[in-house]
Chain A
Amino acid sequence: MNCELAQERIVTAAYGELADEQVHELEQHLSGCDLCREEREQALALKVLANAHPVLEPPPNLVARARMRLGEALDTLPPKRWYERWGGRIINNFARLQAAPVAALLLLVAGAGAGCLGSYEFAQIRAAHAAAQTAAASKAQPVASIPELANVASISGIVRQPNSEIVDVSYNQLVPRRIEGSLDDPQIRQLLMLASEDSASPGIRDDSVGLLAAECRAGHSCQPAGIRDALMVALRYDKSAAVRQKALEGLEPYVAQDVRVRDAVLEALLNDSDPRIRTAAINLLEPVEADTSVRQVLYSVSNSDESPQIRNVSRQVLSRVPEIQ
């Protein structure tokens, strides 16, 4: 063993992590090497010195405060939707099966059996389809141009009737619909709220959140269980910063009176990735800047935000408002 390797192993051994046979090798090297024996003394001395910075038990009031703050934050989260819970449950059940080898094996066998049966059926259908194709080749018509089959969303079943060329196909069709109405119409509002969460297009989410936000700012019926909730969800979860900005603007009138809105804005100030949103959040908190939780968040932001401007603005707000005891 050379000294370089020995010195690495000295540290590993000092922390009780060296394998027994390597400990023996190391001891043999140390018995004949003054330099490495000195290294070992130094490594042990470092361990003692480092303990001059001891680990403290967290004080009980820190634990209590942290627990309370976490509880408040969890209370403001929207409850998981039924499909999220069920999806999670199904995936985790598969995960549990993975931990049960025998069950997994049985599942494999059953799956293989079903697969074989399915392949047989599929092969039969393909044969029927190929036959149908050659027969219809002279009068072929692209499927897309068949009006009855516009907007087919998915095929849910294919069954071939035995010993025949008749195939039974089940399919789902999207039916585009349109509705026109005023912003007070409950149907319109419900569709806008759905659009704010579910639309794949950021443009549509932007439009819907913008309209809902305008309703809230104008003071029209913006009850908590409804538009306000939808805006808080958009502020928290939407991937588009423009949508989050609109949601924030819509929530402005409610920061002072609704503690859930205040906390949603605090969460945006702490966690939003876009500094413009975080800056807008600080401005929105003006009516409640003397609140203890707001001050705590501002204190945290003034120390740890990535943006120097935001840190500055937070410090300015903190110094402007006298401490509430």
Chain B
Amino acid sequence: MGGSNRDGSAQTQERLQAREAEMDLIREAQAGSRSAFDALVRQYEHQVLRLALHLTGSEHDAEDIYQEAFLKAYRYLGNFRFECSFYTWIYRIVTNLCLDQLRRRKTRREDHAVIVDRAGDEIDTLAAVSDDRSFSNPARELDRKLLGEKIQAALTKLTPRERMVFELKHYQGLRLRTIGEMLSTTEETAKNTLFRATKKLRAQLAEVR
């Protein structure tokens, strides 16, 4: 018990120190330090790309969202007043850009059912997730690939907000309260949106199983 208390307080201490270091970095960046801003970008770029890539299915679109998000962050960094965490602030920018992207796609009815790389070739997402069993069982490999495509197709049937909430909760593992903050809404609304999204997905996928 005593040991775990010490671990707990050591962890809290580390988190506080990391938070303080980040706040110093933000202030430096606000004062005009480009290297401080670059350091902030490094801290968040993988998460931003991971989210944008999974949501859009396109390396090109993910790169565009990355570019727009960090340019916006650079432009409006002076408005960041530390009333929320920088993590929430940057994610709010990214989720809004992703929502815009999803809305544009909805109106154009594009269906990016598979991820494309820069040359426009499909990336086999399931091959990228290594699984020894698949090499010995091609039929199973095909099933998984088809299932992956079905999931992506079902996701496109959600509204942009439903898709966003499901993405952030299921795939990115964020808490509903954080998702609410990022989408400038309440935890309760995020919860209801998640429920609607899962209901719709189940209806879409009912024929699969």
Contact = CB atoms under 8 A, between A and B. Distances in A.
A41 to B, nearest CB: 11
B32 A53 contact: no
Interface in B1-46: 27, 30-32, 34, 37-38, 41, 45-46
Contact of A62 (B38, B59, B170, B172): B59
Contact of A55 (B64, B172, B175, B198): B172
Contacts of A11: 194-195, 198
Given A58-B53, A66-B63, A303-B61, A88 B172 contact: no
Interface string B195-209: 100100110010011
Interface in A30-81: 42-43, 45-47, 49-50, 52-59, 62-63, 65-67, 69-71, 73-74, 77, 79-80
A143 interface: no
Contact of B32 (A63, A66, A80, A300): A80
A314 to B, nearest CB: 13
| Interchain residue pairs A-B with the least CB separation, the first 5 | A58-B49, A88-B78, A53-B151, A52-B147, A95-B81
Contact of B71 (A15, A73, A300, A303): A73
B171 A55 contact: yes
Contacts of B91: none
A291 interface: no
B201 A46 contact: yes
A304 B101 contact: yes
Contacts of B78: 84, 88, 91-92
Interface in A297-311: 299-300, 303-304, 306
A74 B34 contact: yes
B71 A70 contact: yes
Contacts of A63: 45-46, 49
Interface string A283-299: 00000000000001001
B195 A73 contact: no
B45 A67 contact: yes
B191 interface: yes
A230 B155 CA distance: 46
Contact of A49 (B37, B66, B205): B205
B152 A70 contact: no
B27 A92 contact: yes
A74 B74 contact: yes
Contacts of B202: 42, 46
Given A49-B151, A73-B71, A89 B30 contact: yes
A40 B176 CA distance: 19
A52 B148 contact: yes
A310 to B, nearest CB: 13
A204 B185 CA distance: 43
Interface string B134-155: 0000000000100110111001
A99 interface: yes
A28 interface: no
Interface in A1-42: 8, 11-12, 15, 17, 42
Contacts of A139: none
A8, A17, A70, A300 — which one has the most chain B CB atoms within 10 A of its CB? Answer: A70
Nearest to B55: A55
B129 interface: yes
Given A11-B198, A95-B81, 7 more contacts: A11-B195, A53-B152, A57-B46, A62-B63, A84-B78, A85-B32, A88-B78
A17 B191 contact: yes
Contact of A15 (B63, B66, B150, B194): B194
B70 A70 contact: yes
B106 interface: no
Nearest to B155: A53
Contact of A95 (B53, B82, B169, B195): B82
B62, B101, B194, B209 — which one has the most chain A CB atoms within 10 A of its CB? Answer: B194
A91 B66 CA distance: 28
Contacts of A54: 125-126, 129, 148
Given A50-B201, A56-B54, A17 B175 contact: yes
A17, A49, A58, A96 — which one has the most chain B CB atoms within 10 A of its CB? Answer: A58
